[in-house]
Amino acid sequence: MRRPWNLVLQHKLDPDLASPLYLQLVHALIHEIERGRLRPGSPLPSTRDLAGELGLNRKTVLSAYEELVSQGWLETSGRRGTMVATNLPDGPPRAIDIQAPIDRAPIYRFAPPPERPIAVPSGRRIKLDEGSPDGSLFPPEVLARAYRTAALFSARRQQLGYGDPRGSEKLRESLVTMLREERGMVADAETICITRGSQMAISIAARLLARPGAVALAESLTYEPAVAALRGAGMPVLPVGMGPDGIDVDAVEHACRRHTVAALFLTPHHQFPTTISLEPQKRLRLIDLARQFGFAIIEDDYDHEFRLGSQPLLPMAAYAPDVVIYVGSLSKLLLPALRVGYLVAPAQVIASAAHLVSVSDGMGNRLTEDAVAMLIEEGEVRRHLRKATRIYAERRDVLAQAVNEQFADMASARLPEGGLAMWLEFHDLAALRAIEAGAEGAGISFAPSESYRLDDTASYGLRLGFASHRSDRAVEAVGILARIGRGEG
């Protein structure tokens, strides 16, 4: 059956829209059906005729018709051609209006994000990060060669399908050697689970440890994403006070006697954000408390490799693997974009972690993991580390000098013996408020002081990364912030 008239659509099709033309036609026809202009059983033009009327490729119209038939809006019937479905219920579901704003509110309930927006790169601004590496230092040709080798390695062994949710065995074996030789840890491939960065590892650990009625502990100055992961797993997070030498161990014991504690989140190597190294006596007392009260210590060793001064202490996991879930990262050592982190824990715990990976991520990125393993085995990681550490040490010293010169009247700075950032603790809170209020207008962004504070007793400060920028750019940013703090700019 042929239509005696051309079909004029209320919604015009626009090839400049992001939506494909055939989907625009799908929504335009649904709109005409919904408003009653095209009634059940109404014939539609042939694909050739409608394509000619609308100035479209016939395949575009054919794709739209096929999509609408599969959804039940249209039907075909031999010689009668294509028509509006005869069995549509009264008031069919409303179609999405492709011309409507994309920020239309959903009709369903969902968990809203926190008030503070997620941290993303901010265009041309200077981003004073909390301790990121300089990705430009790692030679891209070396990375490309490693990926090519990994792809050929996996293809020849028919290992390009789904694999072990614990991650690439090749990378886990490489980590076993690194952890044994560099960090004094006894591990094997069964006690390691590869994750997409350390944040995923922290989140998995939180989910493994959460149980009804239990709480987690964290220092009053701490890593906000870890707190979010613990809370997201259903555990309230209680703050523990800090002194000049780190966490108050007596306060940890007091909390354990008042609450059922499932986890203590800790960054003992370089405390986040203050960079304090936790002394051995406190580490041993915390391990004793963990064994006494049955909680796990989540040890986030996020920047262990970068030693700018004295030799580091061994991780707590090296001498207390029964109470520590160890979180490590290769993202800072190599490139954040690689997204390679890992968990080390007893094999039974890793089996549970692998299950969580399997239901949320399926498996890891085998090509990336094998490529990283080859970089480790071929010595490229060690060579890069030596070069980067030398550069970061120089950048640290330059930034420290600038901070001491510019901020002496507002804050005190801690010169870190390792890591990728320094802590600036403010005693002039008015200056800090002025800096945080005026930084964006000056083209500088950084994590706000409140993001580090778990309770009102914590001090105020900013964590300034010195690794990811050239020294002149970081010094420029410090000078701008200091002038804002003094009310000069």
How many structural domains comprise the chain? 3
Asked if 22 and 97 sit in the same domain, the reply is yes
pTM > 0.85: no
Of the given ranges (96-110, 171-185, 325-339, 448-462), which has the lowest mean pLDDT? 96-110
Task: Give Dmax (Cα) for the chain.
Answer: 91
Based on the fold, state whether residues 174 and 300 are members of the same structural domain.
yes
| Residues 281 and 306 both lie in one domain | yes
DSSP-derived pairing of the beta strands 215-219 and 261-266: parallel
CA 230 to chain centroid, in Å, comes to 15
Kindly give the interhelix angle for 21-34 and 58-71, rounded to the nearest 10 degrees: 50
116, part of any domain: no
Are residue 260 and residue 366 in the same domain, yes or no?
yes
Same domain, 189 and 272: yes
User: Final residue of a domain: which of 357, 381, 405?
Assistant: 381
Specify the length of the chain in residues. 489
Give domain status of residue 120, yes or no: no
Same domain, 201 and 289: yes
What the block records as the tokens of 397 is 């010293």
255 inside domain:
yes
Distance CA 13, CA 247 (A): 63
Is the model's pLDDT at 488 over the cut of 90? no
Q: Which of 346, 352, 338 is nearest to 381 (CA)?
A: 338
In this structure, are 196 and 342 located in the same domain? yes
Using CA atoms, how far apart are residues 447 and 465, in angstroms rounded to an integer?
A: 11
Q: Which domain holds residue 61?
A: 1-110
**Are 364 and 398 within one domain?**
no
Task: Express each pLDDT in 65-120 by its tens digit.
Answer: 998 888 888 988 777 788 888 887 655 445 445 455 445 677 788 777 766 655 55
For 251-300, how does the pLDDT look when each residue is reduced to its tens digit (9 = 90+)? Answer: 999 999 999 999 999 999 999 999 999 999 999 999 999 999 999 999 99
Whether residue 391 is found in the same domain as residue 425 = yes
Q: Which of 62, 30, 35 is nearest to 46 (CA)?
A: 62
Residues 469 and 320 in one domain: no
Tokens of 112: 């809203």
Give the pLDDT confidence of 177-200 residue by residue, as tens digits. Answer: 999 988 889 899 999 999 999 999
Which three-class secondary structure state does DSSP give residue 460? coil
CATH, residue 459: 3.90.1150.10
CATH of the domain at 94: 1.10.10.10
Cβ-based neighbour number of residue 76 at 10 Å: 12
Domain identity same for 68 and 33: yes
- Give me the sign of the Cα torsion angle 438, 440, 446, 447: positive
Same structural domain for residues 130 and 157? no
